[in-house]
Structure 1
């Protein structure tokens, strides 16, 4: 099979470091950054600890930075690279995780858009009840599905302008938070526990940001212009994602001093809206809702492509039907049954974080241990003879199961989720650590096999 079927062609490598930075920046200038700030505060941390957790959590984008460098070096996108670590058939595991990741974030964005519209009901004097909540869901979900008729180039232009407008409004709101924040209350917050407070806060942010985005990093890195330094790719990716996320999380932490209920509410967007001047709140939330639509459509199309890479090929109408049902049913559960967005969001991030943390740890260990001289193209073709790389598959299985054993939430209670592991997301770090240990064992076994082969 020709290398070009695996590698990105030279003519398609057009991304400069500045464009790479903007792509990551635009993808992370979103209202969810404020929500992450609220989630950090919920761990009962001091102001300094909360900012530290936000900083370290945002630096999880060092992981996508590393993955992007590998994509640039090889000129290969993420899931084709992943075939080397898992085998062409075994690679269906991270493919399935990626599909779940895309569909899950699609549902989160639809829920977010619906709640943003609900927050605007006060301006129109519309009561908030089950019927009006359903109307908001139908309006936003319908806009997402109808927007699927737009071309990607059009969506790209819309997203670019919305990013500029949203970014400018965000700066205004951050200035508002700085002037209105209760600094005395913020600086006098008692300190929380580092192991059972700060670390879980970092892990939940990392799971929803750097770890989650790592699955797309090489997809952008592979399209960087030839001759670009690896350092430029690394820092453009890392800072492009980390800078806006940290700033927005800091804003969410400050907002909690104005609206203390932000850390415990099931409707963080309603609390945010009430904290803002009415005119500014209306404009900001409308732009925020509009900015979510292109992201939803990109996720919708990416999910269909990901199904195809797993061998599940469906027509566009069938794909739209499948993902459309998910877009509606998941928000229905969160908005009408669970009734608490933050709690449901944390469960999603916890499960997703464990699966992705073990995957990316294996991916990077495989690259560092076995691909120093570069990737063998024959391992990444669909007709590769290595269909299952049992080292990577076994490491992923052991690490993921172990992570779940140390995790508990409203729907799962791991047998070892006691003490410092109780009611938090430290299972994400456990999964990553076990994955690294397993890959060290795989490396040692492969070295032993090689030595035995030479002696025989």
Structure 2
């Protein structure tokens, strides 16, 4: 007995997390709300935030419309993450385990699969950008940016992500607090050194876009930032003390997640709006294109910051995707789950870098597609959190015979129906590169929201590209759940 206790203490001293999806003990719940700032800030203080501005302007809106869309979209989406994080404090378990209270112990596997795919997609995307950035900058430095460089970069990036994710929560939290200062300082240096590229005359001349285009850009920002993380938000708050303020958790989560991207995307709007070459080049290689604005001597620290920030974000994704894999019933230790996802990440990175010719367009199509059911899940989960007045029943989260049951057909039905309708209200902007998604938007013409121009191959109409389906799935799922499950939640908590 004493030997086991000594081993456990040694593991904790080293900071290695062996906890999987089980409940965090009260003794281990030592984090304060302010601790949430570091992982969220480090994962989002990425120069990729600057490049994201090109995607926003791609909707055909003005600079000031884009600024408004960016600030609202980033802040609101991360505030929604903050609300989900409250569940972590109440239940001391990963996000997808807590989701069982709303969907049932077995029913949670429906959104769980979506969550796992989203996490895998994000972490692979970030790894790909790190590899492409390395190749571009090495080429400019004259060090060679060909196949050998990409192979080495892919191996190194994947190894960094996997090793940190396997180590777990405690090491990741310490790592993120250090990375925040490194990446933040070099990002500020990048801004200072590229200020001369801003052309306010050209920026001011960008014409305004329609209401539909503005909404479409808003949805893209929300999906690309906060909603892209929302399925893992409680994973980092489950170590919070039970006495922690829910408002403080929301505030620190929002501040940590939104501060950097809101500022960086706004600055990126000025850069992309000033230089068409930058705006167009970002589609093929976001980080590498931004590096073209720098003098040679800054490229190495810029590359270091870019890779570290991308790795930081990918670490959060792969750590949580491993937890989600366990929540689906896979019986392996948490470090092994992270390793499995790491292998998938590595294979995906090698495929896109060395086989696929264009990764950005299919990825955006993939992002919007999964964004609809994920938004529906978020609406259901947020309503469930709002309805509950007490902490979760820890044992019932792992027992299909407990108060949460095996299947909650109201939640599952709501997610399925709103997702189907939502996918009928979004369109595939990349029909040539992602033909598998061309069935989307099937409700636009019947509802008079858009018309397909078969001659030229694009949608016409004010709201055709507004991606209303994401907002529909989020809002309607929340409203239906808040009304339809009020009595059931009260009964689960003994208040009925």
State the TM-score, normalized to the length of structure 2. Answer: 0.79
Separation in 1 of the partners of 2:486 and 2:154? 53
Aligned to 2:475: 433
Report the CA distance between 1:440 and its aligned residue: 5.4
Are residue 29 (structure 1) and residue 45 (structure 2) matched? yes
- Alpha-carbon displacement from aligned partner over 1:140-187 (angstroms, at most 9, x marks no partner): 345545667767655554443332111011112223344431111112
Q: 2:421 aligns with which of 384, 402, 410?
A: 402
Q: Secondary structure at the match of 1:224?
A: coil
**Equivalence map 1:97-116=2 (5 Å):** 97-116=114-133
Separation in 1 of the partners of 2:335 and 2:248? 41
Aligned to 2:302: 284
**Change in 2 beyond 3 A, CA 1:444/1:81:** closer
Report the CA distance between 1:343 and its aligned residue: 1.5
Are residue 442 (structure 1) and residue 484 (structure 2) matched? yes
More moved, 142-151 vs 355-364: 142-151
Asked if the contact 2:54/2:268 (under 8 Å) is kept, the reply is yes
Asked if the contact 2:69/2:217 (under 8 Å) is kept, the reply is yes
Separation in 2 of the partners of 1:150 and 1:310? 21
**Change in 2 beyond 3 A, CA 1:130/1:21:** closer
- Alpha-carbon displacement from aligned partner over 1:172-220 (angstroms, at most 9, x marks no partner): 222334443111111221111122x111111111112212222222233
Q: 2:216 aligns with which of 176, 179, 200?
A: 200
**Change in 2 beyond 3 A, CA 1:74/1:331:** closer
Separation in 2 of the partners of 1:155 and 1:220? 10
Runs of 4+ in 1 over 6 A off after TM superposition: 146-152, 315-318, 444-447
Report the CA distance between 1:75 and its aligned residue: 4.6
Q: 1:222 aligns with which of 205, 222, 238?
A: 238
Separation in 2 of the partners of 1:85 and 1:229? 23
Q: Secondary structure at the match of 2:141?
A: coil
State the TM-score, normalized to the length of structure 1. Answer: 0.86
Report the CA distance between 1:24 and its aligned residue: 1.9
Asked if the contact 2:134/2:145 (under 8 Å) is kept, the reply is no
Separation in 2 of the partners of 1:161 and 1:226? 27
Are residue 354 (structure 1) and residue 410 (structure 2) matched? no
More moved, 353-362 vs 420-429: 420-429
Asked if the contact 1:177/1:251 (under 8 Å) is kept, the reply is no
Aligned to 2:9: none
More moved, 87-96 vs 331-340: 331-340
Separation in 2 of the partners of 1:226 and 1:298? 23
RMSD between aligned alpha carbons?
3.2
Q: Secondary structure at the match of 2:38?
A: helix
Report the CA distance between 1:122 and its aligned residue: 2.8
Q: 2:206 aligns with which of 168, 177, 189?
A: 189
- Consecutive unaligned residues of structure 1, counting only runs of 5 or more, are none
Separation in 2 of the partners of 1:234 and 1:192? 33
**Change in 2 beyond 3 A, CA 1:236/1:23:** same
- Please state which structure has a larger fraction of its residues in helix: 1
Report the CA distance between 1:329 and its aligned residue: 3.9
Asked if the contact 1:407/1:421 (under 8 Å) is kept, the reply is no
Q: Secondary structure at the match of 1:275?
A: coil
Report the CA distance between 1:356 and its aligned residue: 1.2
Are residue 330 (structure 1) and residue 348 (structure 2) matched? yes
- Consecutive unaligned residues of structure 2, counting only runs of 5 or more, are 1-20, 429-433, 445-449, 451-460
